[in-house]
Structure 1
Amino acid sequence: MKKIIVLLAAVLLLPGIALAESVNVFDAGGGNKLIYRTTDDGDVQSSLAIETAGGYVVTDQNGNSTLVNDFSRDDQWGDRKDRD
């Protein structure tokens, strides 16, 4: 009985483990970035990160905008030697 419970738990938990969230970032030119995020349920959400003097303004597919200034000084987007 214990083996059946363990096997059943593994089968029920496996889909949640297999569908991990992933994020892909692509260069959109001019310092801007396209962000594609695949959620756990398989939906794809897109965002555009526009580089400004204060950091990046990230606008999602619903039109919601957020200022992200953490990426303006670190190496999160790749080689940022031009910022030094």
Structure 2
Amino acid sequence: MSFWTAIVLLVLIGSVTKVLTARYRAQHGITADRHGNENYVSRTDPGAQREIEDLRERIKVLERIATDGNSLDARETKRIAAEIEALRDKQAD
């Protein structure tokens, strides 16, 4: 192994280590400011939790709307609406 190959390998190992360290810190909420001071960011943000709960409720409503189109009541409502439209079309003629 030549001298330059060893230098390239050392730089590569250092770079991979730095990337993996940054990834680990990001996953666990550890940030650093300009001066290198590290801070732990709490993941329990009340505003974010409230927004997540609101989004979950919206998803529940959308799922209900999507699945209620196949229920017996929904089919009956569609049938009645079609009959009403057919009667309107007959009156217009």
TM-score bin (small chain): 0.3 to 0.5
Q: TM-score, normalised by structure 1?
A: 0.32
Kindly indicate which of the two structures has a greater share of residues assigned to helix. Answer: 2
Kindly indicate which of the two structures has a greater share of residues assigned to strand. Answer: 1
Q: TM-score, normalised by structure 2?
A: 0.30
Larger RCO of the pair (alpha carbons < 8 Å, separation 6+)? 1
